[in-house]
Amino acid sequence: MSLFPEDAPYRVLARKYRPSDFGALIGQDAVVTTLANAIRTNRLAQAWLLTGVRGVGKTSTARIIAKALNCIGPDGNGGPTIEPCGVCANCVAISAGQHIDVVEMDAASNTGVDNIREIIEAVRYASVSARYKVYIVDEVHMLSKGAFNALLKTLEEPPPHVKFIFATTEVQKVPATILSRCQRFDLKRVPVELLAEHFRKVAEAEGAAAEPEALALIARAAEGSVRDGLSILDQAIAQAGSGIVEAAAVRDMLGLADRGRIAALLGAILQADPQAALAAVDSAHGAGVDPQALISGLLDMLHQIVRSKMAGSTDPALPEGDRQAIQRWSTELSFPAMHRLWQLLLKGHAETGQAPQPQQAAEMAILRCVHAAGLPDPDRIAKLIESGAAVAPPSRPAADRAAPAPAPVASATALPQDAESIVALFENREAQLCRMLRDRVSISVQPDLLILGQLGDLPAGFAADVTKCLVEWTGQNWEVRIEAAAEGAESLYMIAERAKADAHERALEDPMVKALLAEFPGAELTEPKPPRAPALPQLRSATA
């Protein structure tokens, strides 16, 4: 049954159930204890600063303090008390916001020096009927710099009959000079469990029935704000009419995606199934689920999985089916995989909110998650690499072991003894001749004789150019002879390519490489390709 007669004007739940004493102020035990002890022992500061997010009880606490300081009891003979009676003239007038000595000012609309000057002038006069003049300034951070400066002296040494109570949601914007003159109390967000229980009592007082899951949904949506939660509960009761406040109706009202849809979508993502994931997204879109709310639901479920993995338990407010799914995924997923998925979803949530087509943005974000889920676990890859590092590489064939290593660049007076040293001699001096010697001929070196087996086109005068360079650089007489290449002869370039191919085949047989290729289907073992050499121009004989 309602607490008010049927002909009384309706008051929203947030106002109707505003706490009127410290006992009704939920979730703020530390603040209540400190303030109650200060009042009981008469250790009263000249100013208090109440901070916290919206709807946690800052203004209500300020009014309770004002009543506690000015309560005179039912018989009119009482003093300051931690349990204001609520029935004396002062308590009633303060609760109604009509007491002449308790002034509430909204700093958001009274920001200037003139507004503060009015307070400074008024504090000099004694209170009319209350024990203390109390000035409650809401959203005090909105005051201008000049207004703050004008208030400093009065705030530091106010008359003994004056108390200031400031409330703000953005304490970082309040000057340090003001903070140092106040006792600060931080009002916390109210825990979900405490909010759900409070909403259950309010629903009962309103004669309404509500499912526990529906109350839990409202409590989570309130984000620690009692006022926000009561506003949602008010709407949910109105939506239910004379029926029960159901979880499904609350989800629809809040625009939340059904948890069954969320679980199905998350399952498709973790299975790396793009068709199933897109089908789940289309189903949610057809049901009217907001795209950004869909990703929010995935974030919420993933957060529950991480907490379950860390704490070993799930939110008791969740349905049994959700708890079982969350516990299963918490054992199957690694932390790197969950953190990677969280970052992708968080980025997708922001993109969906900014995109001109939110549904398309949500689909693309979820497809990115599907692709990432199909990749190997980073931990597993790291372990494969770590274990592969301990695997000895296959032994090289005897022919490879016998192959000579490339010779260093010859000096100007050194006599080349083999093909590699001949090519090295030309490396930094005649780049075009060097490339032809490496790519288009086989090389046989004998004392003062260089036999070149022709494998490709050579310009006229090639032998003369090579001879001139060798004579000039070594000081020896050389004969350079060009002949038809013998069967099976190879240039240095061909020898190097064959060695590279053999090394590639050996690498494919390495256990670590095999394991990595198995983890990445369709991957290939490649190496950076050097820039392609430009076509060689026609050489002109050096003797011409």
What angle, 0 to 180 degrees and rounded to 10, lies between the N-to-C axes of helices 274-286 and 259-270? 160
Residue 11's pLDDT is 84
Residue 1's pLDDT is 36
146 touches 174 (CB < 8 A) = no
What value, to the nearest 5°, has the Cα angle with vertex 409 and ends 405 and 410?
A: 110
Residue 40 CB partners (closer than 8 Å, separation 6+): 82
Distance CA 541, CA 520 (A): 54
Digit-coded pLDDT (tens) for 151-179: 999 999 999 999 999 999 999 999 999 99
For the chain, the 3-state helix, strand and coil shares in percent, each to the nearest 5, are 55, 10, 40
What angle, 0 to 180 degrees and rounded to 10, lies between the N-to-C axes of helices 419-427 and 492-508? 110
The hierarchical CATH code for the domain 402-544 is 3.30.300
Residue 382's pLDDT is 63
Where do the domains of the chain lie? Answer: 28-186, 259-375, 402-544
Q: How far apart are the first and last CA of the chain?
A: 117
210 touches 199 (CB < 8 A) = yes
Residue 532's pLDDT is 59
Residue 317's pLDDT is 58
Digit-coded pLDDT (tens) for 103-118: 999 998 888 899 899 9
Q: How many CB atoms lie within 10 A of CB 71?
A: 26
| CA proximity to 349, closest of 306, 296, 302 | 296
218 touches 203 (CB < 8 A) = no
253 touches 236 (CB < 8 A) = yes
- Put simply, whether the predicted model's pTM sits higher than 0.85 gets the answer no
Residue 178 CB partners (closer than 8 Å, separation 6+): 49, 140, 148, 151, 152, 155, 166
Residue 319's pLDDT is 64
Distance CA 91, CA 242 (A): 35
DSSP string across 144-197: -HHHHHHHHHHHHS--TTEEEEEEES-GGGS-HHHHTTSEEEEPPPPPHHHHHH
Residue 389's pLDDT is 44
Distance CA 49, CA 37 (A): 17
Segment-wise mean pLDDT, segments of 10 residues, the chain, 544 residues: 53 89 88 88 91 91 92 88 90 90 90 90 89 93 92 91 94 93 92 92 92 89 90 91 86 71 89 91 87 91 89 68 82 87 93 92 93 74 58 43 42 71 87 90 88 88 89 87 87 90 85 78 72 52 42
Q: Can you name the CATH fold of 28-186? A: Rossmann fold (3.40.50)
Tokens of 288: 């009217």
533 touches 440 (CB < 8 A) = no
Q: Is 481 helix (H, G, I), strand (E, B) or coil?
A: strand
The hierarchical CATH code for the domain 259-375 is 1.20.272.10
Residue 64's pLDDT is 92
Maximum Cα–Cα distance across the chain = 131
